[in-house]
Amino acid sequence: MNKQKPTEPTTKSHYYWQGFRAGAPFILVVAPFGLLFGVVATEAGMDIVQTMAMTVLVIAGAAQFAAVQLLVENAPVYVAILTGLAVNMRMAMYSASMAPHIGSTAGWKRIIAAYFLVDQSYAASIRQYEDVPEMKPSEKLAFFFGTISPICFPWYLFTYIGVKVGAAIPPEYALDFAVPITFIALVAPSLRSLPHLAAAFVSVAVSLSLAWLPYNLWLMIAAVLAMMTGAYIEKHTVITA
């Protein structure tokens, strides 16, 4: 008796839950990361409406931390905005990388995906797309939405909890461990080529050498120089090959 091929809704459901499982481990850092931001925002003088509005609209932890820190230091608002944009410049590269995979799906779906494009969802999704290139665009999109489900909604929840009860969390719990661990977990597996390694090296070197600059300006400079380095080496490698 011949087995029937699974229908597209079935395969999309399969890939959604596969993506959910790929994104689920990130809850281990999303939870303390969200709690920490809730605490930091509250200590910076933001009320719950401002904090949750920033969390939902920006949905980018690193940019949120950087902007809040600058506002606490009484930096000009435009500096805080530019810093947030600099931190999130990587999202433009993420979008360009995702376009060949889900660019043919419906426009409204791509808009929703763009909103939910964060480090974790990108890292988990692009790795799956590279490992299983035969996936259809609709299946890739289903996988992407699966990855984000256990990430973004807990991010909102734990930020809210951080605002409400964060001040009562004992300092010995050191929630700030989540920040470096999150980015180490995201970046380390992707350092598989010379352009990636060069960009990482330049960003670290420039950040350390310019750490004395005010208003986190070192961050913007390091981000721009790292991207330029990675793009130059990748282009030169392609031409040479």
Q: What is the pLDDT of residues 134-177, one digit of tens each?
A: 999 999 999 999 999 999 999 999 999 988 876 666 666 655 55
pLDDT at 111 over 90: yes
The pTM of the whole model exceeds 0.85: no
Structure token pair of residue 187: 């970046």
Residue 215: which domain range?
191-241
Number of domains observed in the structure of the chain: 2
- One domain for residues 132 and 195: no
Mean pLDDT of the residues in the chain: 81
- One domain for residues 146 and 232: no
206-218: per-residue pLDDT in tens? 888 988 887 767 7
- One domain for residues 118 and 173: yes
Helix (H) or strand (E) holding 201: helix 194-209
Q: What's the rounded mean pLDDT across residues 104-116?
A: 92
- One domain for residues 169 and 58: yes
- One domain for residues 82 and 13: yes
* Residue 2 located in a structural domain: no
Q: Is 218 exposed, middle or buried, given 0-12, 13-18 or 19+ CB atoms closer than 10 A?
A: middle
- One domain for residues 205 and 174: no
